[in-house]
């Protein structure tokens, strides 16, 4: 059950009148060919990651050491955590951490991707530092959230009188940053994040691979899927290239006012892929200036929703609210487990039809129902079909979206690999938290904040 499929049917006229026409796609045929050629020529960092054995090898080389721990705790944020969460949720049982050691056969995996003290404490309560490996992940080695959580972990290690080099693993830039410096000084093991791969494109580097390996996920098959997808995408014909067609349709519809992209998996295990996608699409595509330096303020807001849960929360809006969303369903054909609904109360018609049916059938029928309703309401939507959840198919999915993001960036004529818009907020935090060198900014910020006309009720 290897190989995901892309169903674009409901993005096209006349199936959905607000969709695109074949002629509109053909108008961009040559441009797309050039864009794909350029991507393969320019080789943005993510492109060859699945062809670089160094990344899987560097992680598998330390498998025995990592697997001896009771718990592995990831400390990172954004691209240094979202892929890890998506992989664990998709490829391990949803109750993985609460399974017995014998059932799991590998360490528990926790991901601390925030500095909410209630959240951090709740995870620290579940681990014993003596049997824990803390994997600090930060490309820059300066991110306040990852660094403060490192300091907390380090405090625990020191308090317990443990040897830091036996309980810490840093995943960071090969040359720069404070983590690299500490690692050299204190002989702490490190894994490299390739310099030319940005955080949100780094799930298939040691950033995502270490925790995946710790959780016994088949990282080789993850790579096989990504590699095979790269081969599929090395096709200059937009009609045969799912990543290019996906980007192009999102681009054309974006220009017509479809400013939001909803990803709606009908599977709890696939749900966090939508979280990973949100960062990828938002940080890559949401830009103030284009490559010529002109102010363009482009972007498409990625939203996550879960089927069937959000049918009872969001779908009213999707069907009847502003027609500005493209919905991408993730459909799972074969669930690993299933439950037959018992035939009880068969004298009550409102319950009788459910008896004897599988939950998987109900869930996928609900997807069909939502899809049908969206079409009836003239709302463009598409579907990515997973025959099953396995590392190969997830690898395909991740790579397809990385490539699609690169194509979308080219269509919008922006740089999809930077994120200047997150800098100001980070700097203000440094300033207000008293970081050296930010004194002037701190006084400017405090002045502006105090001069504000307050409206607090
Ligand atoms: O790995 P780092 O450098 O700690 O960065 C974490 C995240 O912060 C950002 O730089 C900005 O939010 C993301 O692009 C990145 O994934």
pLDDT in tens, 353-398: 999 999 999 999 999 999 999 999 999 999 999 999 999 999 999 9
Q: Does the beta carbon of 360 lie inside 6 Å of ligand 1?
A: no
DSSP string, 159-222: HTT--HHHHEEEEE-SS-SHHHHHHHHHT-EEEEPPTTS-GGG-TTSHHHHHHHHHTT--HHHH
Q: Which of 427, 423, 426 is nearest to 437 (CA)?
A: 427
pLDDT for the residue 319? 98
Report how far ligand 1's centroid is from the alpha carbon of 199 (Å). 6
- CA angle (60 as vertex; 136, 39 as ends), nearest 5: 80
Q: Does the beta carbon of 286 lie inside 6 Å of ligand 1?
A: no
| R_g over Cα of the chain | 23
- Alpha carbon distances (Å) from 406 to 37, 66, 287, 366: 12, 34, 14, 33
pLDDT for the residue 217? 98
- E strand or H helix that includes residue 382: strand 381-386
Q: Does the beta carbon of 138 lie inside 6 Å of ligand 1?
A: yes
Dihedral sign (CA 388, 391, 392, 393): positive
For tokens 């220009």, the residue is: 255
Q: Which of 1, 13, 3 is nearest to 396 (CA)?
A: 3
pLDDT for the residue 303? 98
pLDDT in tens, 190-200: 999 999 999 99
Q: Does the beta carbon of 97 lie inside 6 Å of ligand 1?
A: no
Q: How far is it, in rounded angstroms, from Cα 305 to Cα 321?
A: 16
For tokens 């990172």, the residue is: 76
Q: Does the beta carbon of 422 lie inside 6 Å of ligand 1?
A: yes
* Res. 202 pLDDT band, cuts 50 70 90: very high
- Alpha carbon distances (Å) from 188 to 82, 159, 167, 181, 394: 24, 18, 9, 10, 31
pLDDT for the residue 180? 96
DSSP code for 95: T
Q: Measuring from atom 14 of ligand 1, which residue has the nearest CA?
A: 199
Best of 45, 46, 74, 78 for a ligand 1 pocket test (most atoms within 8 Å of beta carbon): 78
| Ligand 1 nearest atom to the CA of residue 146, by list position | 4
Decide: 386 and 4 in contact? Cβ < 8 Å: yes
pLDDT in tens, 17-40: 999 999 999 999 999 999 999 999
| Maximal C-alpha separation, the chain | 75
Best of 143, 174, 180, 278 for a ligand 1 pocket test (most atoms within 8 Å of beta carbon): 143
Q: How far is it, in rounded angstroms, from Cα 402 to Cα 398?
A: 6
* Res. 76 pLDDT band, cuts 50 70 90: very high
Q: Measuring from atom 8 of ligand 1, which residue has the nearest CA?
A: 78
Report how far ligand 1's centroid is from the alpha carbon of 144 (Å). 10
ipTM over 0.90? The verdict is yes
For tokens 């009148």, the residue is: 17
The stretch 389-409 carries a mean pLDDT of 98
pLDDT in tens, 318-353: 999 999 999 999 999 999 999 999 999 999 999 999
Q: How far is it, in rounded angstroms, from Cα 432 to Cα 430?
A: 6
The stretch 166-172 carries a mean pLDDT of 98
Catalytic residues: 283, 312, 426
pLDDT for the residue 51? 97
Report how far ligand 1's centroid is from the alpha carbon of 319 (Å). 35
Helix axes 53-60, 206-214, angle to 10 degrees: 40
Q: Does the beta carbon of 84 lie inside 6 Å of ligand 1?
A: no
Report how far ligand 1's centroid is from the alpha carbon of 225 (Å). 26
Cβ partners under 8 Å of residue 434, min gap 6: 442
Residues shown for the chain: 457
Cβ partners under 8 Å of residue 243, min gap 6: 233, 400, 401, 403, 404, 407
Q: Does the beta carbon of 200 lie inside 6 Å of ligand 1?
A: yes
Neighbours of 280 (CB within 10 A): 25
Q: How far is it, in rounded angstroms, from Cα 363 to Cα 80?
A: 32
Report how far ligand 1's centroid is from the alpha carbon of 46 (Å). 16
* Res. 313 pLDDT band, cuts 50 70 90: very high
Can you count the helices (H) and strands (E) in the chain?
20, 12
Complete domains list, the chain, with CATH: 5-42+222-412 (3.40.50.10490), 68-215 (3.40.50.10490)
The stretch 204-217 carries a mean pLDDT of 98
Report how far ligand 1's centroid is from the alpha carbon of 437 (Å). 21
pLDDT in tens, 260-311: 999 999 999 999 999 999 999 999 999 999 999 999 999 999 999 999 999 9
pLDDT in tens, 232-263: 999 999 999 999 999 999 999 999 999 999 99
Q: Does the beta carbon of 146 lie inside 6 Å of ligand 1?
A: yes
Q: Does the beta carbon of 80 lie inside 6 Å of ligand 1?
A: yes
pTM (2 d.p.): 0.98
Q: Measuring from atom 16 of ligand 1, which residue has the nearest CA?
A: 79
Report how far ligand 1's centroid is from the alpha carbon of 123 (Å). 22
Report how far ligand 1's centroid is from the alpha carbon of 177 (Å). 13
pLDDT for the residue 24? 98
Dihedral sign (CA 214, 217, 222, 224): positive
The stretch 443-455 carries a mean pLDDT of 96
Q: Which region, left, alpha or beta, applies to residue 437 given φ > 0 means left and ψ of -120 to 50 means alpha?
A: left
Per-chain mean pLDDT for the chain: 97
Best of 45, 74, 80, 138 for a ligand 1 pocket test (most atoms within 8 Å of beta carbon): 80
DSSP string, 334-378: S-SS--BPP---TTSHHHHTTTT-BHHHHHHHHHHHHHHHHHHTT
- Bridge pairing between strands 71-75 and 325-332: unpaired
Q: How far is it, in rounded angstroms, from Cα 144 to Cα 97?
A: 27
Q: Does the beta carbon of 79 lie inside 6 Å of ligand 1?
A: yes
Q: Does the beta carbon of 140 lie inside 6 Å of ligand 1?
A: yes
- CA angle (382 as vertex; 335, 332 as ends), nearest 5: 5
């Amino acid at each position: 059950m290897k190989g995901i499929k892309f169903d674009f049917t409901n993005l096209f006229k006349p199936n959905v009148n607000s969709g695109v026409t074949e002629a509109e796609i053909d108008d961009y045929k040559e441009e797309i060919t050039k864009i794909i050629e350029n991507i393969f020529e320019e080789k943005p960092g993510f492109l060859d990651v699945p062809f670089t054995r160094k990344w899987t090898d560097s992680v598998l080389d330390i498998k025995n050491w990592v697997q001896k721990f009771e718990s592995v705790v990831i400390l990172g944020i954004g691209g240094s955590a979202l892929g890890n969460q998506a992989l664990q949720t998709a490829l391990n049982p949803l109750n993985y951490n609460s399974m017995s050691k014998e059932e799991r056969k590998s360490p528990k995996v926790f991901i601390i991707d925030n500095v909410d003290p209630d959240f951090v404490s709740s995870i620290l309560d579940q681990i014993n530092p003596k049997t824990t490996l803390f994997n600090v992940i930060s490309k820059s080695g300066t991110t306040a959230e990852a660094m403060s959580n490192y300091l907390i972990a380090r405090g625990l290690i020191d308090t317990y009188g443990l040897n830091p080099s036996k309980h810490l693993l840093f995943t960071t830039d090969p040359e720069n940053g404070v983590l690299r410096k500490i690692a050299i000084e204190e002989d702490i093991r490190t894994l490299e994040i390739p310099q030319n791969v940005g955080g949100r494109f780094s799930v298939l580097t040691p950033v995502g691979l270490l925790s995946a390996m710790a959780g016994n996920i088949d990282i080789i098959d993850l790579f096989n899927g990504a590699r095979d997808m790269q081969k599929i995408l090395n096709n200059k014909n937009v009609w045969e290239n799912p990543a290019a067609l996906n980007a192009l349709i999102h681009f054309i519809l974006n220009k017509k006012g479809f400013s939001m992209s909803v990803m709606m998996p009908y599977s709890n295990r696939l749900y966090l892929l939508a979280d990973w996608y949100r960062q990828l699409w938002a940080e890559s595509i949401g830009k103030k200036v284009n490559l010529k330096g002109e102010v363009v303020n482009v972007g498409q807001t990625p939203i996550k929703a879960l089927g069937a849960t959000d049918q009872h929360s969001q779908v009213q809006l999707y069907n009847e609210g502003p027609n500005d969303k493209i919905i991408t369903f993730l459909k799972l054909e074969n669930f690993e487990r299933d439950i037959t609904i018992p035939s009880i109360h068969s004298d009550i018609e409102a319950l009788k039809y459910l008896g004897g049916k599988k939950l998987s059938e109900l869930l996928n029928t609900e997807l069909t129902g939502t899809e049908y309703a969206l079409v009836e309401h003239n709302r463009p939507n598409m579907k990515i079909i997973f025959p099953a959840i396995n590392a190969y198919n997830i690898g395909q999915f991740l790579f397809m979206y990385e490539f699609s993001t690169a194509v979308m960036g080219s269509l919008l004529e922006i740089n999809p690999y930077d994120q200047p818009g997150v800098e100001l907020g980070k700097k203000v935090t440094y300033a207000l938290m008293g970081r050296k060198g930010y004194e002037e900014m701190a006084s400017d910020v405090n002045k502006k904040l105090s001069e504000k006309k307050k409206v607090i009720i």
